[in-house]
Amino acid sequence: MDICKFSLPEIIFGRGSMQYVGSYALQLGAKKVFVVSDHGLESTGWVGKLLNILDKSSLKWVYYANVSPNPRDHEVHEGAELYQREDADVVIALGGGSPLDMGKGVATVVSNGGIIQDYEGANLITNPLPPMIFLPSTAGSGSDISQFAIITDVQRQVKMSLISRSLTPNVSIIDPDMLNTADDALIVSSAVDALSHAIESYVSRIAHALTETQAIKAIQLILDNLAPALQTRDPLALENLSIAAIAAGMSFSNACLGADHAIAHSLGGFFDTSHGMVHPVLLPAVMRYNLPACEEKMALIGELILGQRLRSARQTAEAGITRLEEFFYEFGTASRFREIVDDQAAFPQICEMATRDACLLTNPRAATAEDLLRICQEVW
Amino acid sequence: MDICKFSLPEIIFGRGSMQYVGSYALQLGAKKVFVVSDHGLESTGWVGKLLNILDKSSLKWVYYANVSPNPRDHEVHEGAELYQREDADVVIALGGGSPLDMGKGVATVVSNGGIIQDYEGANLITNPLPPMIFLPSTAGSGSDISQFAIITDVQRQVKMSLISRSLTPNVSIIDPDMLNTADDALIVSSAVDALSHAIESYVSRIAHALTETQAIKAIQLILDNLAPALQTRDPLALENLSIAAIAAGMSFSNACLGADHAIAHSLGGFFDTSHGMVHPVLLPAVMRYNLPACEEKMALIGELILGQRLRSARQTAEAGITRLEEFFYEFGTASRFREIVDDQAAFPQICEMATRDACLLTNPRAATAEDLLRICQEVW
């Protein structure tokens, strides 16, 4: 094993844990909080509840909700201006990956200056960020745990990956009750996102014992709990999906990802597609491509999916991937790119850009733009 | 599940990772480092190596090695005076649990004032501590991961438990190469300590999914790797013991411990015994006492130990405990208190004191001083 790192935020987990957000903000020295969320979460009532808690803690706040589903560079800069104009001192983000990544973007720009593009890549953030408290409303993005932020550069049509220890929030308050207001589509796309984090980070070139344990735990929990969570909104199943997202976040934040995410970022920058839609199409194809480079690990994933081991590692791995496709299909996800984007012509450019994404560095099998294009064509 | 917390330091893991200690100290703003270790580690060469790395990073340092195997209050105060006289700004501790806990004690007193006794108990440390970087030389104490410090109050003859989020170091640099210079007895006692952390925290009243995964991982790794680590100093087995100690640390730091540790602390304050000697005697007896309160979890531990499940949960749990005693015995540990202490008369007082130890609060089954005394008498 090479030298590896493992870090994560302080996690507060449990139903009703949102109530502690005020005391944590005060502990972190907050006087005026910059709150990020989006209009969807306002309508569920969670934003109002959060602001009430801040009021009861006698905290001032300023609220920002100009956040696209794939958050954009100019939205970050607008948020940063508001933060500075209002003299805020702590960032609280409530939402799925988009408001959380927006919180990271704003925190980066207000403390390090310049524009968000200056920090694209790994370890380019030097000044400490203002304290961040995150409240994830979905069980999927892992942004509440991870060192990653994904922001779209609108002009270049690319989702930039920012990776830095500083992007891990100080505290994540994870309240599975928030999943009660999520609709089926959101629960599925979030779980699929978490599953792709777990699978890609498990076979990553820099996976290690501490991340692998988490990845395996996440895969098992999602396979076991997604159906009951949808069918009956069983609180225990929802809680387990939350735990799965945390475990997957611990894994990918420290072991990074692979070709599926590299292409998904590139595709998302171009077509503004969401991760949750892309993975069911792309992940099985990427797993097949990677299989020769990590047969035993793919077999272990296969064993989790199938509930048994077949005659050989290769057979188990292959049958597992096929069963995974059926698993996705049962939840009504797309299985071909043509179902979610309308133009195949951009794929060569998308795959070319994907080769420059940091996630490709840790893919278990080397891949050129041509390799990536072949993967995409297979599932057109 | 109730609301729970999970936190840990930034971990740098891998053979040779000690080389990064200088750059991490500089990142944390160090100008003059307070280095804690002990004479045993000087003779292995690790202290010299560490000081060399600091020299090469142009860091000034002051060295402190007045650390007993169970570190004492007056040693903490002497270290704190040295830290302040020398105007140090970062604590680096290298060693087993003793130098690491000493580092925590010194960091607490220099930043919060008073004497170390002022901080006995949970969450009594209010001011931020100076940055701490820890380099564990054994795979066992978990002090490099945990929110705990154990310091002996010499006058009261009690090992005080200090528990606070602030006692987690900023960075733990875990270099399994350091285990190469440990003798058999140290490897065994450290592994036994880690195993007791894993087992007690797994059945703790406040265990949760994030801690349980770690505890199970730790138990499995120790059972599988202790014998090969001793027999051949197989580097992979030593690395796995390191990983086990980290995983057990993650678990107990966040889920706390139980009656075995409550008694061991009390006994250690009285007789100056080490944890590693006490657990093989005490842990199986405590597990038998706890069995009715957590039969299914004890059965799962039994299944790991036995490699199979027997007819009932209870049978599996009981057979597992018996097999665990044999496992300890194979490594030459004591199986009766009379082998390690020479006087039974103090036990009523020891058990009375153990009821005031914070670890007893999370034991899965309530226990009075009389209950604890019966457990101790069984294994006299």
Amino acid at B360: L
3-class DSSP state of A209: helix
Name the residue in chain A with its Cα closest to that of B10.
Answer: A7
A172 min Cα distance to partner chain B (Å): 10
pLDDT tier, A123 (very low <50, low <70, confident <90, very high otherwise):
confident
pLDDT tier, A7 (very low <50, low <70, confident <90, very high otherwise):
confident
pLDDT value of position B4 = 79
Give chain A positions within 8 Å (CB) of B239.
1
Give chain B positions within 8 Å (CB) of A20.
3
- Determine whether the interchain pair A213/B213 forms a contact, defined as Cβ–Cβ distance below 8 Å: yes
- Determine whether the interchain pair B246/A14 forms a contact, defined as Cβ–Cβ distance below 8 Å: no
B223-247 burial, b at 16+ Cβ within 10 Å, e below that, comes to bebbeebbeeeeeebbbbbbbbbbb
pLDDT value of position A3 = 76
A150-162 burial, b at 16+ Cβ within 10 Å, e below that, comes to bbbbeeebbbbbb
pLDDT tens per residue across span A231-271: 999 999 999 999 999 999 999 999 999 999 999 999 998 88
Whole-number Å distance between alpha carbons of B298 and B315: 10
Whole-number Å distance between alpha carbons of B49 and A34: 46
Q: Who's near B133: CB < 8 A, 6+ residues apart?
A: B21, B24, B25, B28, B90, B91, B92, B93, B169, B170, B171, B172, B173
pLDDT tier, A50 (very low <50, low <70, confident <90, very high otherwise):
very high
Break chain B into its structural domains and give their ranges: 10-178, 183-378
Give chain A positions within 8 Å (CB) of B178.
none
Query: Shortest CA distance to B186 belongs to which of B296, B69, B286?
Result: B69
Is B1 within 8 Å of A239 (Cβ atoms)?
yes
- Determine whether the interchain pair B10/A6 forms a contact, defined as Cβ–Cβ distance below 8 Å: yes
Give chain A positions within 8 Å (CB) of B237.
none
B126 to chain A, any CB pair closer than 8 A? The answer is no
Whole-number Å distance between alpha carbons of B280 and A152: 57
Whole-number Å distance between alpha carbons of B153 and B159: 6
Q: Which fold has domain B183-378?
A: Dehydroquinate synthase-like, alpha domain (1.20.1090)
Query: A77-86, A299-308, B151-160 — which is least confidently predicted?
Result: B151-160
- Among A3, A16, A208, select the one facing B17 at the smallest CB separation: A3
Give chain A positions within 8 Å (CB) of B214.
213
pLDDT value of position A272 = 82
Residues 153-172 of chain B whose Cβ lies under 8 A from any Cβ of chain A? 165
Amino acid at B336: R
pLDDT value of position B273 = 83
Compute the radius of gyration of chain A from its Cα atoms: 20
Query: Shortest CA distance to B242 belongs to which of B173, B337, B290, B168?
Result: B173
What is the DSSP code (8-state) at residue B131? P
Q: Provide CATH code, domain B10-178.
A: 3.40.50.1970
Q: Which two tokens stand for residue B62?
A: 């002051």
Is B195 within 8 Å of B232 (Cβ atoms)?
no
- CB atoms < 10 A from the CB of A99, how many? 29
Residues forming a β-bridge with A72: A152
Mean pLDDT value of segment A1-25 = 87
Q: Which H or E run includes A151?
A: strand A148-153
pLDDT value of position A322 = 98
Q: Who's near B356: CB < 8 A, 6+ residues apart?
A: none
- Determine whether the interchain pair B240/A209 forms a contact, defined as Cβ–Cβ distance below 8 Å: yes
CA B127 to the chain's CA centroid: 24
- Residue A1: pLDDT over 60: no
Counted across chains A and B, CB pairs separated by less than 8 A come out at: 82
A210 to chain B, any CB pair closer than 8 A? The answer is yes
B220 to chain A, any CB pair closer than 8 A? The answer is no
Amino acid at A311: R
pLDDT tier, A209 (very low <50, low <70, confident <90, very high otherwise):
confident
- Determine whether the interchain pair B10/A7 forms a contact, defined as Cβ–Cβ distance below 8 Å: yes
A350 min Cα distance to partner chain B (Å): 35
Is B239 within 8 Å of A1 (Cβ atoms)?
yes
Residue ranges of E strands in chain B: 4-6, 10-13, 32-36, 60-64, 90-95, 121-122, 132-136, 148-153, 158-163, 171-174
List, edge to edge, every strand of the sheet that includes B4-6: A60-64, A32-36, A90-95, A132-136, A171-174, A10-13, B4-6
Amino acid at A281: V
Q: Which two tokens stand for residue A160?
A: 């930039």
A219 to chain B, any CB pair closer than 8 A? The answer is no
Whole-number Å distance between alpha carbons of A98 and A40: 12
pLDDT tens per residue across span A144-186: 999 999 999 999 988 999 999 899 999 999 999 999 999 999 9
Query: Shortest CA distance to A247 belongs to which of A175, A132, A139, A168?
Result: A139
- β-bridge pairing B158-163 and B171-174: unpaired
Helices A209-232 and B209-232 cross at an angle (nearest 10°) of: 150
- Determine whether the interchain pair B4/A12 forms a contact, defined as Cβ–Cβ distance below 8 Å: yes
pLDDT value of position A275 = 75
Residue B46 φ/ψ, nearest 5 degrees: -70, -35
Whole-number Å distance between alpha carbons of A198 and A283: 11
- Determine whether the interchain pair B15/A3 forms a contact, defined as Cβ–Cβ distance below 8 Å: yes
Mean pLDDT value of segment A23-45 = 95
3-class DSSP state of B49: helix
Query: Shortest CA distance to A106 belongs to which of A61, A76, A147?
Result: A76
- Determine whether the interchain pair A10/B7 forms a contact, defined as Cβ–Cβ distance below 8 Å: yes
B4 to chain A, any CB pair closer than 8 A? The answer is yes
Tens of pLDDT along chain B (380 residues) come to: 467 778 889 999 999 999 999 999 998 999 999 999 999 999 999 999 999 999 999 999 999 999 999 999 999 999 999 999 999 999 999 999 999 999 999 999 999 999 999 999 888 998 889 999 999 999 999 999 999 999 999 999 889 999 998 999 999 999 999 999 999 999 999 999 999 999 999 999 999 988 999 999 999 999 999 999 999 999 999 999 999 999 999 999 999 999 999 999 999 988 888 777 899 999 999 999 999 999 999 999 999 999 999 999 999 999 999 999 999 999 999 999 999 998 899 999 999 999 999 899 999 999 999 999 999 999 99
Whole-number Å distance between alpha carbons of B21 and B17: 8
Whole-number Å distance between alpha carbons of B143 and A203: 31
pTM of the full predicted structure? 0.90
Q: How far is CA A242 from CA A373, B115, B127, in A?
A: 34, 42, 33
B249 min Cα distance to partner chain A (Å): 12
3-class DSSP state of B162: strand
Q: What is the C-alpha end-to-end distance of chain A, expressed in Å?
A: 38
Please give the angle made by the CA atoms of B331, B336 and B341, to the nearest 5 degrees. Answer: 105
Q: Provide CATH code, domain A184-378.
A: 1.20.1090.10
pLDDT value of position B343 = 87
HSE-up of A344 (CA within 13 Å, CB side)?
12
- CB atoms < 10 A from the CB of B344, how many? 12
Is A184 within 8 Å of A232 (Cβ atoms)?
no
B26 to chain A, any CB pair closer than 8 A? The answer is no
